[in-house]
Structure 1
Amino acid sequence: MALMKKGAHGLDVQALQQRLAALGAKLAVDGWYGDATEAAVADFQRRAGLVVDGIAGGKTLAALAGQASPRRQLGEADLQDAAERLGVAVSVVKAINAVESRGSGFLADGRPVILLERHVAYQRAGKQANSLAAQYPALCNQARGGYAGGAAEWARFTSLAIIGGEQLAIESCSWGAFQIMGYHWQRLGYVGACEWRLAMESGEPAQLDAFVRFILAEPALLKALQAKKWADVARLYNGPAYKENLYDAKLQAAYERAERLAA
């Protein structure tokens, strides 16, 4: 099953409703993901200790199927703790999690999600930047791009680690559910780049911790988040091109959904 949320319809939704009904939910099995189905999913997530967002994504569907999940997965308590550290409502953190995390901080093979930014590699490669760029333009380049996506990004990571060193590779990638760049490791309080990598590999709670540290280190971003100024949050977190992907509108909608489900 693919991710399902309010407004979805079809046989997959019907199968979801049947599973929820078998677990005691009071809802019609009609194949329409409406208010009742969203509420039933949220109630199941609450009882299972998952992030309560009313969306039937991979983690929720796995839990409904009775598949055990390791602690490396984010739970509702993790988001509540993050909200307290940031001085915001938990619905604010849920909005960020829903829009920025893309559902999971890990690939299906268990490795954390990464994205190698070749222009960052060029910026951080120092004296070897031009040499690397000339020989390996897909890995080190003044221009953005060269992405392979998914698990293939780890092949790019390994190649860059071989030719430029592991620290350069770690620092040149964005990591985990919240895609924080590895070069932030020092300002966020990690002992070294390798400790950063180990933290990102340890689980989604550690990835969320890195996100909280990042927000706390950016006063303007923290202030915008606390004021729920979604356009400012999107601009400061995603850059000036945020409007192209409607990040601010998505954050607003995710926040409103979280508030509705908490009521």
Structure 2
Amino acid sequence: MKLLIVGSKGHAVRDLQAALKRAGYAVELDGDFGPKTEAAVIALQTERGLVVDGIAGPKTLAALSGQDCSRLLKESDLLAGAKRLGTDLPTMKAVNEVESNGAGFLSNGKAVILYERHIMHRLLLAQGDDADATAQQVAELAAIHPGLINTKPGGYAGGLHEYPRLARASMIDAEAAAGACSWGLYQIMGFHAVRLGYASAQAMAEAMQQSEANQLDAFVRFIEADPELHKALKARKWQAFAKGYNGPAYARNLYDAKLQQAYARHLELAGEKAAA
């Protein structure tokens, strides 16, 4: 669904307002997401323990409909992450808003993943003592399974359909397959697992399936393991952080500008809350 924020208008906003009103929040059913609607969304998020950002998305609607939100990211999780990284809560909220997928779990309850066939190729090549023999074996596997093992990225199925790809790749090599996936809200690659303190990529994958808090923990570990990225985040040098986290495409996708804007908005919300 499209995220609803201040300035949004239309039937989706009116439906949100109607749900908020049924839940006991004082809002007008005018189809205009203004300050009163934002205040109601913030109140709901605060009461239900969700991340308090004033944005109405799938998680806010899930809370409104009475769904189990126990595995979802909480305000307290972001606050704990901010303390670990030596930064403030608005910074963590900005990163969560811009750099996360928005949802760490798919509709079937499994963690969001993206299987990368070129990473699988690379990980398989790194195995074995005989480089030539390993390269021959990997070439043979790639010829049989080009959608799973390839020198080029691609072949994505998306969403729920990434799991059959992972299952087939796991039959070839379970650890490499887990390492070839990005996991959860922050798309942390499994091949980083041991460097981040997990026993294996499979152990990291199991943790990612448990909660969005665990997915945030993987992100925090990733930042802690990269001194330059950590320094950029703490100093809120958004261009350096976006480049380090997203790669060269950060500029094309305006990640640094989006982070700056999100930080300013969350800082303003925090100020209004503190002054209330």
TM range (shorter): over 0.9
Tell me, yes or no, if structure 1 residue 92 matches structure 2 residue 91.
Answer: yes
| TM-score, structure 1 normalization | 0.94
Tell me, yes or no, if structure 1 residue 249 matches structure 2 residue 257.
Answer: yes
| TM-score, structure 2 normalization | 0.90
Tell me, yes or no, if structure 1 residue 157 matches structure 2 residue 166.
Answer: yes
| Structure 1 counterpart of 2:5 | 5
Decide which moves more: 131-140 or 195-204.
131-140
State the Cα distance separating 1:79 from its structure 2 match: 0.3
Instruction: State how far apart, in whole Å, the 2-side matches of 1:174 and 1:129 are.
Output: 22
User: Aligned to 2:107, what secondary structure does the other structure show?
Assistant: coil
- Structure 2, unaligned runs of 5 or more: 126-133, 272-276
* Candidates 229, 246, 263, aligned match of 2:237: 229
| Structure 2 counterpart of 1:138 | 147
| Structure 2 counterpart of 1:36 | 36
The count of corresponding residues between Structure 1 and Structure 2 is: 261
Q: C-alpha root-mean-square deviation of aligned residues, in Å?
A: 1.4
Larger radius of gyration: 2
Tell me, yes or no, if structure 1 residue 147 matches structure 2 residue 146.
Answer: no
One-letter amino acid of the counterpart of residue 193, structure 1:
A
Superimposed CA distance per residue, residues 41-95 of structure 1 (whole angstroms, 9 cap, x where no aligned partner)? 11211121100111111111111122232x2211000000000000001111111
- After superposition, where does 1:1-263 map in structure 2 within 5 Å? 2-69=2-69, 71-126=70-125, 127=134, 128-162=137-171, 164-263=172-271
- Structure 1, unaligned runs of 5 or more: none
One-letter amino acid of the counterpart of residue 64, structure 1:
L
One-letter amino acid of the counterpart of residue 165, structure 1:
D
User: Aligned to 2:182, what secondary structure does the other structure show?
Assistant: strand
User: Aligned to 1:234, what secondary structure does the other structure show?
Assistant: helix
One-letter amino acid of the counterpart of residue 216, structure 1:
E
State the Cα distance separating 1:205 from its structure 2 match: 0.7
Instruction: State how far apart, in whole Å, the 2-side matches of 1:66 and 1:177 are.
Output: 22
